[in-house]
Amino acid sequence: MPLLPSGARIWLSMDAILEPTTRFLPCKSDCFWFRDLDPTSGWLPGDSGRPPECLRTATVPTTRIEVASYVRVFIAGVDEDESRWRGDWLLSFDRPEELSVADWEASLEFFGSDWATEFLDRAIDRCREQSEANATLDLVGFEPTFDPHPQTAIRLARAAGALQDLSSRRAASTVGHDEKTTDLIDSRFEAMSEFADRTLDHYGPHQALAHRLLAATATELGDVENAVHHIRAFASLLPQDRAFTVDLIARLRSARRHTAIRLGPRLRSSCDQTREC
């Protein structure tokens, strides 16, 4: 573990990539399993506590740049005996506040060293070996399920709650001109949106929650067209929850005062009944 000028230490880890010998779930050809930040949580890099994780699949990387998305950066502060993961990935790693400019320059030198490039090559091999190991699983009789996916609904509901907290934190960071925190929060919104979008591939009652989360994240990210699309879908699946629909429409109108937003007859009916639009 390289010692930085301040006395802090930094290291790279491929522990997010499951061991090739792990007999886990089957996945598509040329894909592998890895541990990622749970997209349904509001945890941000730098927050206290252990980062909440979930298991995901991704296409086997073929370049060092690609695999850097799955390599974790571990840091041990000057007064810390052990290094820990703070939610940072090598590809998107930015200088933490506690690292000095000299520390950052030393870190960049380490990331570009022969040892680091060889490490990335080994990480690619690990992804490929794990994918090949999973490809040998006996899939006879394996079929996708059409269960209601109660766990998916729970995770979507948890993400909706986390989004509200992140929205407040984003507003505060915007007022305080804290661009780094704002960018981190936006990345969490994008992860939530990606997760909700993936769940739409499955049949079940969770779909209304998925459209609700997609509408909310699109609104936070300023994507009016997608927000309106998912509000329509949510209102169609769960028309009794008018409060959420009306509130989001009001937010979109506030953001686009000079642009007409076509709500469609179903949403217009919902707004007319509440007389709040």
Residues 187 and 107 in one domain: no
Query: Which range marks the domain in which residue 130 is found?
Result: 9-135
Q: pLDDT of 248-263, one tens digit each?
A: 888 887 766 544 444 4
Residues 187 and 118 in one domain: no
Q: What is the dihedral of CA 150, 153, 158, 161, to 10 degrees?
A: -150
Q: pLDDT of 116-157, one tens digit each?
A: 999 999 999 999 999 988 776 665 555 555 555 568 888 999
Residues 259 and 160 in one domain: yes
The pLDDT of residue 275 is: 41
Domain count, the chain: 2
Let me know if residue 33 belongs to a domain. Answer: yes
Let me know if residue 3 belongs to a domain. Answer: no
Q: Write phi, then psi, for 231 (nearest 5 degrees).
A: -65, -45
Residue that is last in its domain, among 109, 135, 161: 135
Residues 199 and 155 in one domain: yes
The pLDDT of residue 35 is: 92
Residues 130 and 48 in one domain: yes
Let me know if residue 4 belongs to a domain. Answer: no
The backbone region for 164, taken as left when phi is positive above 0, alpha when psi lies in -120 to 50, beta otherwise, is: alpha
Residues 167 and 115 in one domain: no
Residues 116 and 183 in one domain: no
Beta carbons within 10 angstroms of residue 225's beta carbon: 10
The answer to whether 34 touches 56, Cβ cutoff 8 Å, is: yes
| Mean pLDDT to the nearest integer, 76-95 | 86
DSSP 61-92: P-SHHHHGGGPEEEEE-TT-SS-EEEEEEGGG
Nearest to 197 by CA among 215, 178, 173: 215
The pLDDT of residue 82 is: 80
Give the confidence band of 224 by pLDDT, cuts at 50, 70, 90.
Answer: confident
Q: pLDDT of 6-53, one tens digit each?
A: 999 999 999 999 998 876 667 778 889 999 999 999 998 878 888 899
Q: Write phi, then psi, for 188 (nearest 5 degrees).
A: -70, -40
Beta carbons within 10 angstroms of residue 274's beta carbon: 11
Cα of 111 vs its chain's centroid, Å:
24
Let me know if residue 144 belongs to a domain. Answer: no
Helices (H) and strands (E) in the chain, counts: 9, 5
Is it the case that residue 163 has pLDDT exceeding 90? yes
Residue that wins the pLDDT comparison between 138 and 175: 175
Residue that wins the pLDDT comparison between 137 and 67: 67
What distance in Å separates the CA atoms of residue 66 and residue 108, rounded to the nearest whole number?
18
Residues 118 and 157 in one domain: no
- 38: Cβ contacts below 8 Å, ≥ 6 apart: 52, 53, 54
Let me know if residue 162 belongs to a domain. Answer: yes
Residues 74 and 174 in one domain: no
The answer to whether 52 touches 155, Cβ cutoff 8 Å, is: no
Residues 24 and 130 in one domain: yes
Let me know if residue 66 belongs to a domain. Answer: yes
Residues 118 and 198 in one domain: no
Q: What six digits make up the tokens of 90?
A: 């090598």
Residue that is last in its domain, among 135, 162, 178: 135
| Mean pLDDT to the nearest integer, 227-235 | 91
Secondary structure percentages of the chain, helix, strand, coil, to 5:
50, 10, 35
Strand partners, 73: 12
Residue ranges of alpha helices (H) inside 76-223 are 101-111, 114-135, 150-175, 179-199, 207-220
DSSP tag of 97: T
Let me know if residue 105 belongs to a domain. Answer: yes
Q: pLDDT of 197-219, one tens digit each?
A: 989 887 778 899 999 999 999 99
Let me know if residue 1 belongs to a domain. Answer: no
What distance in Å separates the CA atoms of residue 190 and residue 214, rounded to the nearest whole number?
10
Residue that is last in its domain, among 110, 135, 160: 135
The pLDDT of residue 272 is: 46
Residues 131 and 168 in one domain: no
Is it the case that residue 233 has pLDDT exceeding 60? yes
Cα of 48 vs its chain's centroid, Å:
18
The pLDDT of residue 249 is: 82
Residue that wins the pLDDT comparison between 3 and 144: 3
Q: Write down the mean pLDDT value for the chain.
A: 84
